[in-house]
Structure 1
Amino acid sequence: MFIVPEKEIAGLVSADQCFEAVEAVFAAMARGDAYNFPVIREAIGHAEALYGFKSGFDRAGAVLGLKSGGYWPGNAAKGRTNHQSTVVLFDPDSGRPAALVGGNLLTALRTAAASAVSIRYLARSDARVLGMLGAGHQSAFQLRAAVAQRRFEKIVGWNYHPEMLPRLAETAAEFGLPFEAVSLEDLGAQADVIVTISSSFSAQLMDAHVRPGTHLACMGTDTKGKQEIDPAIFARARVFADEIAQSVEIGEAQHAVAAEFIAAEDIVEIGAVINGTAPGRQSDDEITVFDGTGVGLQDLAVAARAVAAARARGVAVEVDL
């Protein structure tokens, strides 16, 4: 099997390649050519950590495997990334282990790629202001991926800990875009696209904050109990997800379904929009919500690309397991 160390990942896969991989996986899922297995994600009762497994099989891409990892909130104080992940790929023909891949950067890239896919297919074409709710480690990746999808002229941001907002200002400056720290009310009033990427367990963006025509990419809720937005927003929005079952179980939609604002049958897989079998945005006044829970197939797709590039460049370590 091959080992691809975390330190090599940045030089192996680009944001554009991650976008292509994630887009293809969503399309394969909607066609029934790829499927995810049930997620295991639990609080382990140590270090305030959340730990779990995401896995699946992409028949079209011949990729089988799992991602193991989670969230350790105390890591930042130790100079480490709070999100820790490792991807294991298996040969689908034999079941033998094929690769072990550092998954920290890949997770950030694939999460950003998923929200970018939603922006490409669901946001208004004239969207000019990007709103960011959350300023943690992944927020910079989200911002970079989002600005590639529309001609944004300004970035506005809010974070529960405002001292973290300079991260967004610095990232916006990479693209020559002005950044403004705002209240949640102002964020909703200004933003045409809002990306939520926090670790909140209570709603922050409320229904009254969201204007008609807004696209929301909700990327932070991936565990039972987590929540970023008011479930009442779902009642006046068209709702899309990476995977419907996972969205209802551990995504932002868990709260909207429980409150009976929507049913699982009201949610559309983004892959169906990509494939042209379901409509995306249908009017400029429509609110669209993408519930990005993060499916295992995303990790496997980008990890497979990293392995191929690592082998081609001679940086993959081969071991006999």
Structure 2
Amino acid sequence: MTDGLVIVSEEVCQQVVGRGDAFTAVEQVFAAMARGDAYNFPVIREAIRHADALYGFKSGFDRAGLTLGLKSGGYWPGNADKGLTNHQSTVFLFDPDTGKLKALVGGNYLTAVRTAAASSVSIAHLARKDAKVLGMVGAGHQSSFQLRAAAEQRAFEKVVAWNPHPEMLPKLGEVAAELGLEFEAVDRDRLGAEADVIITITSAFEPLLMAAQIKPGTHIACMGTDTVGKQEVDPAILASATVFTDEIAQSISLGEAQHAVKSGQIRENDITPIGDVINGTHPGRSDGDEITLFDGTGVGLQDLAVASVAADLASKSGAATRVAL
């Protein structure tokens, strides 16, 4: 990038960053984290007591990719009624050699695409090769991103889905139809019985899937729990599964594993960074009956990685705006 502050709008991010770009960026940063070449700083996430919003910062540094910065934003549950995305965020990238602000990147689309990339990385490395049925728990804004990304990792034939608000499911069904996949709205018992891969992407504070509902060989990507108190699945599922995560510190403190660790059903050393599987230092799935679970807490380095790609691609294509700060 040349001199000046690079500004990449939401519209430009959507134009230049595809699912493949996001997958590669997230896979590489997970690998760098596992090698010790990249690390996240402590997360700040607070209820601001206004508009029922959660607001915070995620930050980190990737020495391998020379990416330094932060994402600022959060969750505004009333935004849907205003025609806005509930998740609002912006990424700030700094020059690691000078500390100078070098890019300002819209974070809403990138948050959705990097979250989907994380679950698809977990599917690529942990799901059974013969997986045919994808289960979706959740039908909100991010669910369509999750479905599209997951569909590229296995030869799925059908999608079974459940949402606490069933009126939202037809929209997800339209995405499945676009992908040429059969779609059926089902109860949670059927979802667990049929799905080979399950993605949970909700804002739940209670378990939506119980251990008895999960069949052997299932891969589960828990993508909604990113705050203390949130929960999407029964802790007993983690106790019966081989558990992987993006970052162990977040997994046990604010991710899905927080509940299983607190109740003593698993320990911190029962959780493996998925970067170890990517790097080949952990075998990943051992057999067809093993239940694997990816606790996708959402680390700042994911945001920085995809924002850096957006800034580079937008600059090269001439789509970025440049200003003097």
Instruction: Give the TM-score category using the shorter length.
Output: over 0.9
Query: Of 138, 141, 154, which aligns to 1:137?
Result: 141
Letter in 2 for 1:236: S
Structure 2 equivalent of residue 160 of structure 1: 164
Counterpart-to-counterpart distance in 2, 1:179 and 1:70? 31
Q: Secondary structure of the residue that 1:125 maps to in structure 2?
A: coil
Give distance in 2, aligned partners of 1:106 and 1:271. 21
1:231-279 residue CA offsets vs partner (Å, 9 max, x unmatched): 0111111000000011101100000000111011110000000000112
Alignment partners' CA distance in 2, 1:6 and 1:150: 29
Task: Give the drift of 1:314.
Answer: 1.3
* Partners of 2:126 and 2:179 in 1: CA distance: 23
Residue 305 of structure 1 is matched in structure 2 by 309
Cα distance in 2 for partners of 1:96, 1:3 equals 14
1:152-199 per-position Cα deviation (integer Å, ceiling 9, x unaligned)? 010000000000001210110111111000000000000000000000
Q: Offset of 1:223 from its aligned partner?
A: 0.3
CA distance in 2, matches of 1:309, 1:123: 31
Rounded Cα–Cα distance in structure 2 between residues aligned with 1:275 and 1:84 = 33
Map of 1:181 onto structure 2: 185
Q: Does 1:109 align with 2:113?
A: yes
Q: Matches of residues 32-111 of structure 1 in structure 2 within 5 Å?
A: 32-111=36-115
Three-state SS of the structure 2 residue aligned to 1:165 is helix
Whole-angstrom CA distance in 2 between matches of 1:48 and 1:187: 32
Deviation at 1:61, TM superposition (A): 0.3
Secondary structure of the structure 2 residue equivalent to 1:108: helix
**Is residue 125 of structure 2 the alignment partner of residue 121 of structure 1?**
yes
- CA drift at 1:315: 1.8
Match for 2:304: what amino acid? L
| Structure 2: distance between partners of 1:168 and 1:125 | 24
Write the distance in 1 (CA, Å) between the matches of 2:211 and 2:46: 29
1:317 Cα offset (Å)? 1.3
Detail structure 1 runs of 4+ shifted over 2 Å in the superposition: none
- TM-score using structure 1 length: 0.99
* Residue aligning to 1:245: 249
Where does the alignment leave 5 or more consecutive residues of structure 1 unmatched? none
| Letter paired with 1:139 | S
Q: Secondary structure at the match of 1:261?
A: coil
Are 1:12 and 2:20 matched, yes or no?
Answer: no
Q: Equivalent pairs: percent with the same residue?
A: 69
- Return the offset for 1:4: 0.7
Q: Root-mean-square deviation (CA), in Å?
A: 0.6
Q: Which residue of 2 aligns with 1:269?
A: 273
